[in-house]
Amino acid sequence: MRKLLKYDIKQNANTVLGLAAILVIVQGLLSITGNLRHWDAETIFGLTTVLYFTAAIIMVVQSCKTFAYNIKAYHRRLLPLHPVWTILSSLVFSWLVALIIAVIVVVHAAIYFRIAQVPINIIQIETNGLQNTLFVILTIIWVYTLLVLTVFMAIAIGASVSIRGKAGTWVGIISFFVIQNGLSWVESLIFRDTNSTFANFGIIHIGMAEENGAVASESVNLLPLGPFLLEVVVAALMFYAITYLLKKRIEI
């Protein structure tokens, strides 16, 4: 898998590093311009969030394009490797891409708060100790991983159908929305009345600052146990299904 991962990194290095460099430059210009012109903290925060969200989407798309290329590439299919390694290498690559964005966000926030000394109190997140902070990070990682696996599943379904042209792409897109909405529907149907804090790994408090200085907060459960276990089962089934499609259905 390491060789496959190295190839994926080498193949996408220019694109990923180029996008990261552009993101750093644009965010730097935004922070400097916003502070020199005395923009509201809300405006700077909103534009910064939009830029990071856009960059994250582009990075995810790049990771998924890499997976789509790998499962159809003639030289990759000839390698005497189990399809599991193709899936894992693409998944690890998507994690590395997300890590790059996360590092940029952390460094940017640290530098901005130290130099500008302007606290952004639009959203206040309170966690009870280190444990819940770790659960926040794990929740983000899990949601991201499940999203990427769902996209991989949709790509594999689209590539496995015997329809030529762009029809297979549309089948994959429809499959993605069916899986996403189907999983959400099943979770709401099964765990609709589950409100016990015993069934949750952690709780954070999110508050929105208002004009009068008050903060309206609410508790948000992290990784509810029931839905989390269901998602783990679904992720395992998708992983198995992708492996099966790579072995049996997808043509070079």
CA dist 218 and 206 (Å) reads: 6
Segments in the chain below pLDDT 70:
77-78, 116-132, 162-166, 193-223, 249-252
What residue spans of the chain are helical by DSSP H?
2-36, 41-72, 74-77, 83-116, 129-160, 167-190, 225-248
pLDDT of residue 240: 94
d(CA 156, CA 176): 11
Convert the pLDDT of each residue in 156-166 to its tens digit: 998 887 655 56
- pLDDT, tens digit, 9 for 90 and up, residues 103-125: 998 888 888 777 765 555 545 55
**This prediction's pTM:** 0.80
Q: Are 8 and 70 in contact (CB under 8 A)?
A: yes
Give the pLDDT of residue 113.
73
Q: Where are the domains of the chain?
A: 1-119, 121-252
Residues 6+ apart with CB under 8 A from 220: 203, 204, 205, 206
**Do residues 100 and 20 lie in contact, with contact meaning Cβ atoms separated by under 8 Å?**
yes
The half-sphere exposure of 149 on its side-chain side, counting CA atoms within 13 A, is 21
What confidence score (pLDDT) does residue 164 get? 58
Residue 118: predicted pLDDT: 52
> Could you write out the DSSP letters of every residue in 74-117?
HHHHTSS--HHHHHHHHHHHHHHHHHHHHHHHHHHHHHHHHHH-
- In this predicted structure, what is the pLDDT of residue 111? 81
Q: What is the pLDDT of residue 128?
A: 59
At residue 122, φ and ψ (nearest 5 deg) are -65, -45
State the pLDDT at residue 133.
73
Count Cβ neighbours within 10 Å for each residue of 159-173 and write b for 16 or more, e otherwise: bbbeeeeeebbebbe
pLDDT at 205: 46
